[in-house]
Amino acid sequence: MPGALLRGAPGEQQSKSDGTVTPPSPASQTREPHPAAKSDPAARGEDTLVAVTGTVRMPDGSPAAGATVEAMTGTDEPTIIARTNDAGRFQLHGVLGNGGRLHASSADGKHQTMLVVSSAAVRTTFASPVELSLAPALTHEVIVLSDGRPVEAAHVVAGGQNFRVHAVTGRDGKAKLLLPGTGRVYRLVASHRQLGVNAVLGLKDRPPQDRTRIALLPPGPHTIRVVDRDGKAISGLELSLAVRTEWRGDAQHTAKLDYPRVH
């Protein structure tokens, strides 16, 4: 319906189908905290800075020098990454209000592991050094196409509940993703600066696969106009945008995404 107002949950911005965004009213941004949140930071998911130290070891027990340890924040904020020294030791500081989720990978990515700690146990678990033992990684191949032809230099990201890995396609349009052995891919996203982007979502609800094919969708312009509650344009704002899409997968695991195009 042209010009229809789409209302979200309290505190969310309101947007019209013509791309106009109206900021929420001050009253809608006020929320009464849960009673448990008044005394227990973990219960209310309060963002607190946590120091994590530990050692990463290869399957034979030797130190994993040059390994990366990534703390998944569970938010839109960048992940926190540390690299181990020659003794396999690491140290990182981050806000882990949604629990501790560590993903460790050897320097070549061929050995990985994960550690998941609930938000209530973050401080007690990380009060002393942790030890992460790596195991052989799994391989998932992604083929990226545009108009039926392989795409070179496309970036491919695979995400699971507690990890995110990245690879770049070669001349044959193929990228080899190395995943933690106990991890499950939930979504795959492929993008190319000129040729577009596409994704395959909902993989956690399907049988595990060793290969996925993604056909890129060409890029298109999308214009957003921001106004105040009186309909007057607001200038000088910095905007961030998150897009949620619906997908339909075919037998080759190719996703076709429906997304708005506003000119």
Q: Which of 74, 105, 136 is the last residue of a domain?
A: 136
Token pair 């050897």 in the structure block, residue: 106
Give the model's pLDDT for residue 38: 45
For the segment 29-56, the average pLDDT, to the nearest whole number, is 60
Strands 196-200 and 100-105, by their bridges, are: unpaired
User: Would 263 be classed as within a structural domain?
Assistant: no
Q: Give CA separation, 100 vs 25, 72, 74, 103, in Å.
A: 34, 7, 9, 10
Give the model's pLDDT for residue 239: 79
Based on DSSP, count helices (H) and strands (E) in the chain, helices before strands.
1, 22
161-208 pLDDT tens trace:
889 999 999 999 999 999 998 888 999 999 999 999 999 988 888 887
Strands 100-105 and 135-136, by their bridges, are: unpaired
> Is 65 found in the same domain as 167?
no
Q: Which of 122-126, 131-135, 254-258 has the lowest average pLDDT? A: 254-258
pLDDT-based confidence at 21, cuts 50/70/90?
low
pLDDT-based confidence at 22, cuts 50/70/90?
low
> Is 59 found in the same domain as 99?
yes
Would you say the pTM of this structure is higher than 0.95?
Answer: no
> Is 241 found in the same domain as 129?
no
Number of domains into which the chain is organized: 2
222-260 pLDDT tens trace:
788 899 999 999 998 887 766 554 444 444 444 444 333
**Do residues 203 and 189 make contact, with C-beta atoms less than 8 angstroms apart?**
no
